[in-house]
Amino acid sequence: MSRIGKKSVPVPSNVTATVAGQNVKMKGPKGELSFSVPEELKVEKTNEGVLVSLIEDTKPARSKWGMSRTQIANLIKGVTEGYSHDLEIHGVGFKASMKGKDQIVLSVGYSHEVVLTIPAGVEVKVGGAKQDQVSVSGIDKQAVGQMAAEIRASRKPEPYQGKGVRYKGEYIFRKEGKKK
């Protein structure tokens, strides 16, 4: 049994929750998000908040129960606080810059620049003295995480010198180089 799925998701006073069938819609100060609950589960709005429960106790339903409750909790956090990822670029001459408002250009040691298109609802900022700090923010947890992962994947940090794009605070396991 899911311990997470049993708990109802409390809805803050500044968020409007709407449950229509299998669709859950949250509207808050930062925007509006929605999520479709799988057919095996029942979702309802109660006095305590939004409650997800099983229609029938089957293995596929139990496997989706906790995930659905967490998705609804993520909607609430997204429309109230939002999500953000900070990335650091390490390496001589490595930098990032914005091209308009919908593209980020990364110079990360290739013969060409890496150009990534920023999806709608995600905001990317480039900062730092050498343009080596990138901040990705937005209300949709999945979209923000995906954009940050794409920026990091443009040049993953390598273990010998540590050059590349990494999350802020990420520890890179360093290897010892060749010995004579």
User: What residue segments make up the domains of the chain, in order of their start?
Assistant: 3-80, 83-167
pLDDT tens digits for 24-55?
Answer: 999 999 999 999 999 999 999 999 899 999 99
CA dist 49 and 42 (Å) reads 14
CATH number of 3-80: 3.90.930.12
| Residue 1 reports pLDDT greater than 70 | no
* Full strand arrangement of the beta sheet holding 83-90: 122-127, 133-138, 83-90, 164-167
CA dist 124 and 109 (Å) reads 21
CA dist 66 and 68 (Å) reads 5
| Residue 102 reports pLDDT greater than 60 | yes
Percent of the chain with pLDDT over 70: 99
pLDDT at position 72 is 95
CA dist 157 and 67 (Å) reads 31
CA dist 180 and 177 (Å) reads 10
What's the pTM?
0.88
Sign of CA dihedral 23, 27, 32, 33: negative
CA dist 103 and 93 (Å) reads 20
pLDDT at position 2 is 62
CA dist 174 and 160 (Å) reads 6
pLDDT at position 133 is 95
Q: H helices of 46-180, where? A: 59-80, 141-153
Mean pLDDT, residues 152-170: 94
Fold assignment, 83-167:
Outer Surface Protein A; domain 3 (3.90.930)
pLDDT tens digits for 65-98?
Answer: 999 999 999 999 999 999 999 999 999 999 999 9
| Residue 129 reports pLDDT greater than 90 | no
pLDDT at position 173 is 94
Q: How high is the mean pLDDT of the chain? A: 93
